[in-house]
Amino acid sequence: MQITWQNTAEPVSMKRFLTTHGISMRLIKEIKHGSGEFVVNGDARTGEITVATGDTAGIILPAETADETVASSDQPIDVLYEDANWLVVNKPAGLTSVPGPSNQTDTLVNRVKGHLVREGAENLKSHLITRLDRDTSGLVLIAKHRVAQGMLTVEPTAHTLRKTYLAWVSGEVTPAKGTIKAPIGRPTESPRREVMDTGQKAITKYWVEQTFGDQVTEVKLGLVTGRTHQIRVHLTHLGHPLLGDQLYGGDQQLIKRQALHASTLTFKDPFSGERREFEAPLPADLQALVQTLTDLTNA
């Protein structure tokens, strides 16, 4: 795998040139110690390298071979976008993101591996940039190689990634918009998290989209931080648990899984400089929930 850029600025060291383009120091050190090559104008270079104005420079890395401990699944994935660097999928509710003790063979990671194998991809390790709880539906961004992963997790590119969620919660949420700042921790060995003084900093923004009488509110949410179960914990803390969320006491009369959907995702592609925007339509169970709530409100 070769990645190069043209230097349109003043002459600069190879290290500065690569870090400016989002390559991490960790990867630069790996290449320097033999795991790949630095290239300038198509030629491999070693030692102290200066990239002159007009030069084309970058890196060559060996392909990431398949992790034999990760099973390959033939089950389909809903691909919304794919290029040489990125894969955006619409994950259904009920599908775990990564293998764990209870499921080693049919998670999103397993299905993505099967997809990459079928298309004869050069790199066969997927890197989840975003991940969702098993029973949350919606958009997941996956880097198709470690360079893409690194470039979207270092400054300043990391701050260009934005996600919004739609959720349906018990009660009438007021005020109509706000920011929830409440640290989240894990008080026991249970998977359940709670707001607690000793927890990690957690910030969620929300906007009320519509209300169904005073019984249910549809809200849009954006995460400033990314703690486990953050949206679920913060809304429960406000006294408005997600419908269907058994773990956090949500009402399960109308839906049997948490009514939470990762609906939009945007980021600045560090390879092309383009702003990429994606939207996942509501799955059938959430469409049915909205219709039922509308009918009950209008009855």
Place of tokens 């060559």: 60
Count of other CB atoms within 10 angstroms of residue 124: 19
Name the catalytic one among 133, 245, 251, 285.
133
Residues with Cβ within 8 Å of 199's Cβ and at least 6 positions away in sequence, in order, are 183, 184, 185, 193
DSSP string, the chain: -EEEEE--SS-EEHHHHHHHTT--HHHHHHHHTTSSEEEETTEEE-SS-EE-TT-EEEEE-------TTSPP--S---EEEE-SSEEEEEEPTT--SS-BTTBSSSSHHHHHHHHHHHTT-S----EESS---TT-EEEEEEESSHHHHHHTTSTTGGGG-EEEEEEEEES--SSSEEEEE--EE--SSSS--EE-TTSB--EEEEEEEEEETTTEEEEEEEESS--TTHHHHHHHHTT-PBTT-GGGT---SS-SS--EEEEEEEEE-TTT--EEEEE-PPPHHHHHHHHHHHHHHH-
Q: Report the chain's terminal Cα–Cα distance, integer Å.
A: 60
Q: Is 106 a catalytic residue?
A: no
What are the residue numbers of the active site? 133
